[in-house]
Amino acid sequence: MKADLKWKLVAVFIILVGALYLVLSKPVKLGLDLQGGMSIILEVDVDHVIQTQYKQLAEDIKKKLKENHIDVLSVKVSKEGITITLLDPAHTDKAFKIIRENFPQVEVKATDGSIKVAYSQRELERIKKLTVQQAVETIRNRIDEFGTLNANVSKLGERRILVEIPGVVDPERAKAIIGKTAQLELLEVIDSAYSKEELLKKYPEGLPPNTRIVEGVPEKINGKTIKEWFLVKDTPIVTGSQLKDARASVDARGKPAVNFELTDEGASIFGEATAKLVGKRIAIVLDNKVVSAPVVRSRISKSGQITGDFTPEEAADLAVILRAGALPAPVEILEERIIGPTLGRDSIQKTVRAGIFALVLVGLFMIWRYAISGFISVVSLLFNGLLLWAAMVFLDVTLTLPGIAGIILNIGMAVDANVIIFERIKEELKRGKTLRVAVEEGFKRAWDAILDAQITTLIAAFVLFQFGTGPLKGFAATLSIGTITSIFTALFITKLFLDIVLGGKKTLKYAF
Amino acid sequence: MRHFLDTPPSIDFLKIKKQGYILSTLLVIASLVVIFTKGFNLGIDFTGGTSIQVRFEEKVDIGEVRSALKLVGLEDAMIQAIGTEGNEYEIRVSLKEGKSAVVVEKVKKALQQKFGKKFEIRKIDYIGAVVGEELRKASIYSIVAVLIAILLYVGYRFEPVFAIGAVIPLFHDAIITLGIFSLLGEEVNLSVIAAILTVLGYSLNDTIIIFDRIRENIKIRGKKNLLQLVNQSINENLSRTIITSGTTLFSVLALYLFGGESLKGFSLALLIGIIFGTYSSIYVASPLIVDLENLFRKRSRAK
């Protein structure tokens, strides 16, 4: 054997050992469509956050202007920004300056008594990014708190979040845990009634300033379902962000409830406020619904209780969610896919059978058509499979059902390069060239054709990778990795073994 | 026998190129007519909605499933049998019936009422309106992107005439594949689009191998008598065309026959695409080169 062949053989051996090591070192990651599980795509309502921030900002600006003795006629807040109308247009310039100096994060435009305030594009982007980031972290926290869900949470594009939970899950429970905003607010109740209309009727001149109406949770009392409506102060006394702990428990009547405890800071604010509110009611509001509205008997500082129509499981889940914190903005479920475990198992079984069938058929055909070389191409095909698998482990590619289809398709396509070469060699042999020369010519001439042909497959696979979601990305991955490894095995492995088998022989029966 | 086509035959493929053009044009027109009149059976990937795959322990008639769903007001749901055993169905419910939680609850209730507990929900997909719209757009963009990328690549590696000759057949393959899907009422979903993208790549692969041979022969003999040269190139390549299309077809056929229901649509699209892709490399792409080349030559002479 020639020296260069020996070295090549050593190289192949090293690659073989390396690939085997990778394949045996850890199993390839299975997609949810194969192992079963749930995947959800959520969209974070960032506009909501921006509007909330504008509301807060409007309050701050109003306060600042008041300090400087500028009277404000009206303030309008939308998701595009804040429009402030001054009582006296002569103050426009002064107000403009004050806002610019005190609120450097916003852009201010002033025209004749009306001032428009909005975040800069950059600031908006920053807020949006931060919000989505926070939402991702909150969801991760919630999942960590649960411990049992082995979920994967990741950002998807600008404002979306992908949550993947493998295994058997109760979809509704999982969604409640992940998607609940869990914004807890403790608010001072000003008034209440048993319908919205009734409540509104009490205020014919419009609601008092800085208040809002919040709906209660329907309750069953003596077989009748009633729902209370509350007029509350707009700004909460404390919110969920001042929560130290939350635990599931039972209320006085033995029904499931959630006990919460405030942080020291929250407790002192809450204590001060409740001292003034003895005999009045406070509303415990969760995601814009009053879950309960107890009467303050005495100063409350640290702890409180959320009661409602919970099952024990719901109470436990709510405690976990409150502990993990509220989402910075509501989220909406855009897409949801749930695959039971049996379907994935079936799919694996069936596709593996199809794969073996394809492999055997293609292998037998190659040996029949190309004899010894055909056998070599089958070895090369197996090698290709091994490399493909090893590359998937190495690159941490997730194997999905379409991914398996990609591998099977690859079996048919991988022999293509071999076929192009062998047909070319046969042609050269027909022209009377010796075996040696024919093989060299065949490989040289086939090179262009193989490259051009495979690159087109790669183009399609690449676009697919960009556009595809989950499972289809797996297809694009196996197709493109397989295409690359098949070029390598055809041009290197097949060539090497051919060189070894043919040696310096001028002719060999059944070589092709 | 195993040496079939070792000696290139001399079949005059392009003798019937006119008939080839006519057949291809007719197929494309027919496909377009079917697509525009019958439309597609679009999966929820594109329409949005909830899809629930249910397997019953025993054989259940599709009518029974339908009447069960009627009980909960889901008479508009689409029900498709999965497989041939008659115990598995996909129930598709449109977005206007509500979110997945509501729909799944209703369907479960309906099936429990009618069939007791003898069923298993194997898969639930919910796609909101926003995502459906996005996926629809993304599918079209990605097909266009592949076509442009291919046009550029072939234009760069070969002459412009070749690039045009390579891309037109791709439209042909994609339109016919979609036409057959429309005709059969097979569901068009994301994986079918993925299969079509793959077919674009594969069909081109086939074309390029022939083009490569044409290019090589042009280098040796020049462009005189291009028709005969193209014919010869096809003949020289015939064994390879048949063998690789064959092995790829084997693999896809195995996938179609044994790969399970989840991959049926996907492998069907590949199957159709590969067959027409092979046909179009010989009867659309190759004659196009001859005619386009002649056309350009006449033009430049006219100037």
Across the interface, whether the CB atoms of A354 and B258 are under 8 A apart is answered yes
Asked whether residue A118 falls in the same domain as residue A69, the answer is: yes
The verdict on residue B115 lying in a domain is: yes
Of B98, B127, B156, the residue that ends a domain is B127
Which CATH number is A371's domain given?
A: 1.20.1640.10
Asked whether residue B281 falls in the same domain as residue B242, the answer is: yes
Query: How big is the CA angle at B33 (ends B50 and B198), to the nearest 5 degrees?
Result: 60
Question: What pLDDT band is residue A148 in, cutting at 50, 70 and 90?
Answer: low
Could you report the per-residue pLDDT of B41-58, keeping only the tens digit for each? 999 999 999 999 999 998
Residue B15 has pLDDT above 80, yes or no: yes
Q: How far is residue A428's CA from residue A437's CA, in Å, rounded to a whole number?
A: 8
Residue B1 has pLDDT above 80, yes or no: no
Asked whether residue A184 falls in the same domain as residue A291, the answer is: yes
Q: What is the DSSP string of A375-400?
A: HHHHHHHHHHHHHHHHHHHHTTPEE-
Q: Which residues of A touch B53 (CB under 8 A)?
A: 343
The verdict on residue B3 lying in a domain is: no
Asked whether residue A107 falls in the same domain as residue A192, the answer is: no
Asked whether residue A186 falls in the same domain as residue A317, the answer is: yes
Residue A280 has pLDDT above 70, yes or no: yes
Q: What is the DSSP string of chain B?
A: -TTTTSSPP---GGGGHHHHHHHHHHHHHHHHHHHHHH--EE-HHHH-EEEEEEEESS---HHHHHHHHHHTT-TT-EEEE-SSSSSEEEEEE-GGG--HHHHHHHHHHHHHHHHTT-EEEEEEEEE-HHHHHHHHHHHHHHHHHHHHHHHHHHHHHS-HHHHHHHHHHHHHHHHHHHHHHHHHT-EE-HHHHHHHHHHHHHHHHHHHHHHHHHHHHHHHH-STTHHHHHHHHHHHHHHHHHHHHHHHHHHHHHHHHHS-GGGHHHHHHHHHHHHHHHHHIIIIIHHHHHHHHHHHHHHHHH-
Asked whether residue B20 falls in the same domain as residue B105, the answer is: no
Of A317, A337, A357, the residue that ends a domain is A337
Question: Nearest Cβ partner of A467 from B138, B149, B157?
Answer: B138
Q: What is the pLDDT of residue A224?
A: 82
Question: What pLDDT band is residue B303 in, cutting at 50, 70 and 90?
Answer: low
Residue A174 has pLDDT above 80, yes or no: yes
Domain that holds residue A377: 3-33+340-502
The verdict on residue A299 lying in a domain is: yes
Burial classification of residue B43, based on how many CB atoms lie within 10 Å of its CB (0-12 exposed, 13-18 middle, 19 or more buried): buried
Q: What is the pLDDT of residue A102?
A: 87
Q: Which helix (H) or strand (E) holds A222?
A: none
Report the domain count for chain A: 3
Question: Nearest Cβ partner of A335 from B131, B213, B239?
Answer: B131
Average predicted confidence (pLDDT) for chain A = 88
Asked whether residue A185 falls in the same domain as residue A310, the answer is: yes
Residue A144 has pLDDT above 90, yes or no: no
The verdict on residue B197 lying in a domain is: yes
Q: What is the pLDDT of residue B255?
A: 92
Q: Which residues of B touch A371 (CB under 8 A)?
A: 2
Which CATH number is A324's domain given?
A: 3.30.1360.200
| Nearest CA distance, A450 vs chain B (angstrom) | 8
Asked whether residue B111 falls in the same domain as residue B157, the answer is: no
The verdict on residue A267 lying in a domain is: yes
Q: What is the pLDDT of residue B270?
A: 93
Please give the share of chain A, as a percent, with pLDDT higher than 90: 30
CA neighbor of B266 nearest in space, from A126, A479, A2, A258: A479
Kindly provide the ipTM of the predicted complex, given to two decimals.
0.89
Across the interface, whether the CB atoms of A339 and B205 are under 8 A apart is answered no
Average predicted confidence (pLDDT) for chain B = 90
**Mean predicted confidence (pLDDT) in A356-368:** 94
Of B73, B96, B127, the residue that ends a domain is B127
Burial classification of residue A512, based on how many CB atoms lie within 10 Å of its CB (0-12 exposed, 13-18 middle, 19 or more buried): buried
Asked whether residue B219 falls in the same domain as residue B237, the answer is: yes
* Dihedrals phi, psi of A454, to nearest 5 degrees: -75, -30
Could you report the per-residue pLDDT of B226-240, keeping only the tens digit for each? 999 999 999 999 998
Q: How far is residue B60's CA from residue B77's CA, in Å, rounded to a whole number?
A: 17
Of A105, A124, A143, the residue that ends a domain is A124
The verdict on residue A189 lying in a domain is: yes
Asked whether residue A108 falls in the same domain as residue A226, the answer is: no
Across the interface, whether the CB atoms of B258 and A353 are under 8 A apart is answered yes
**Mean predicted confidence (pLDDT) in A447-460:** 86
Which CATH number is A60's domain given?
A: 3.30.1240
Q: What is the pLDDT of residue B25?
A: 96
The verdict on residue A86 lying in a domain is: yes
Residue A454 has pLDDT above 90, yes or no: no
Could you report the per-residue pLDDT of A363-415, keeping only the tens digit for each? 999 999 999 999 999 999 999 999 999 999 999 999 999 999 999 988 888 88
Asked whether residue A27 falls in the same domain as residue A51, the answer is: no
Asked whether residue A383 falls in the same domain as residue A324, the answer is: no
Q: How far is residue A342's CA from residue A348's CA, in Å, rounded to a whole number?
A: 10
Asked whether residue A114 falls in the same domain as residue A191, the answer is: no
Lowest mean pLDDT among B2-16, B92-106, B130-144, B253-267: B2-16
The verdict on residue A166 lying in a domain is: no
Across the interface, whether the CB atoms of A453 and B205 are under 8 A apart is answered yes
Question: Nearest Cβ partner of B190 from A353, A411, A472?
Answer: A472
Across the interface, whether the CB atoms of B254 and A355 are under 8 A apart is answered yes
3-state secondary structure B153-211: HHHHHCCHHHHHHHHHHHHHHHHHHHHHHHHHCCEECHHHHHHHHHHHHHHHHHHHHHH
Which range of A28-32, A89-93, A290-294 scores highest in mean pLDDT? It is A28-32
Lowest mean pLDDT among A506-510, B77-81, B290-294: A506-510
CA neighbor of B56 nearest in space, from B3, B122, B12: B122
Asked whether residue B171 falls in the same domain as residue B39, the answer is: yes
Asked whether residue B102 falls in the same domain as residue B248, the answer is: no
Question: Nearest Cβ partner of A362 from B53, B139, B251?
Answer: B251
End-to-end CA distance of chain B: 53
Residue B89 has pLDDT above 90, yes or no: yes
Q: Which residues contact A20 (CB under 8 A, 6 or more apart)?
A: A386, A390
Residue A208 has pLDDT above 70, yes or no: yes
The verdict on residue B4 lying in a domain is: no
The verdict on residue B192 lying in a domain is: yes
Q: What is the pLDDT of residue A1?
A: 63
**Mean predicted confidence (pLDDT) in A318-329:** 86
Asked whether residue B85 falls in the same domain as residue B229, the answer is: no
Nearest CA in chain B to A356: B254
Asked whether residue B101 falls in the same domain as residue B203, the answer is: no
Asked whether residue B161 falls in the same domain as residue B227, the answer is: yes
End-to-end CA distance of chain A: 21
The verdict on residue A41 lying in a domain is: no
Asked whether residue A112 falls in the same domain as residue A233, the answer is: no
Structure tokens at A347: 């799919």
Across the interface, whether the CB atoms of B128 and A420 are under 8 A apart is answered no
CA distances from A15 to A331, A383, B152 (A): 48, 10, 35
Asked whether residue B39 falls in the same domain as residue B147, the answer is: yes
Across the interface, whether the CB atoms of A338 and B258 are under 8 A apart is answered no
Question: Nearest Cβ partner of B209 from A371, A408, A420?
Answer: A420
Q: Which residues contact A140 (CB under 8 A, 6 or more apart)?
A: A153
Residue A470 has pLDDT above 80, yes or no: no
Nearest CA in chain B to A341: B122
* Dihedrals phi, psi of B143, to nearest 5 degrees: -65, -45
Of B109, B127, B145, the residue that ends a domain is B127
Report the domain count for chain B: 2
Could you report the per-residue pLDDT of B110-124, keeping only the tens digit for each? 999 888 878 999 999
The verdict on residue B297 lying in a domain is: yes
Which CATH number is B67's domain given?
A: 3.30.70.3400
CB of A416 within 8 A of CB of B244? yes
The verdict on residue A510 lying in a domain is: no
Across the interface, whether the CB atoms of A334 and B7 are under 8 A apart is answered no
Across the interface, whether the CB atoms of A354 and B257 are under 8 A apart is answered yes
Which CATH number is B144's domain given?
A: 1.20.1640.10
| Nearest CA distance, A182 vs chain B (angstrom) | 19
One-letter amino acid for residue A234 of the chain? D
Q: How far is residue A254's CA from residue B66's CA, in Å, rounded to a whole number?
A: 44
Residue A494 has pLDDT above 70, yes or no: yes
Asked whether residue B85 falls in the same domain as residue B27, the answer is: no
Q: Which helix (H) or strand (E) holds A100?
A: helix A92-102
Q: Which residues of A touch B216 (CB under 8 A)?
A: 445
Asked whether residue A346 falls in the same domain as residue A477, the answer is: yes
Residue A141 has pLDDT above 90, yes or no: no
**Mean predicted confidence (pLDDT) in B190-216:** 89
Burial classification of residue A121, based on how many CB atoms lie within 10 Å of its CB (0-12 exposed, 13-18 middle, 19 or more buried): exposed
Asked whether residue A296 falls in the same domain as residue A345, the answer is: no
Buried b / exposed e over A346-368, threshold 16 CB at 10 Å, is bbbebbeebbebbbebbbebbbe
Domain that holds residue B54: 49-127
Asked whether residue B274 falls in the same domain as residue B183, the answer is: yes
One-letter amino acid for residue A238 of the chain? V
The verdict on residue B2 lying in a domain is: no
Which 3 state secondary structure label does DSSP give A320? helix
Q: What is the pLDDT of residue A149?
A: 67
Question: Nearest Cβ partner of B244 from A172, A349, A419?
Answer: A419
Question: What pLDDT band is residue A294 in, cutting at 50, 70 and 90?
Answer: confident
The verdict on residue B1 lying in a domain is: no
Across the interface, whether the CB atoms of A476 and B236 are under 8 A apart is answered no
Of A337, A360, A378, the residue that ends a domain is A337
- Across A353-510, the runs of DSSP E, i.e. the strands, are 398-399
The verdict on residue A136 lying in a domain is: no
Q: How far is residue A57's CA from residue A44's CA, in Å, rounded to a whole number?
A: 21
Nearest CA in chain A to B55: A343
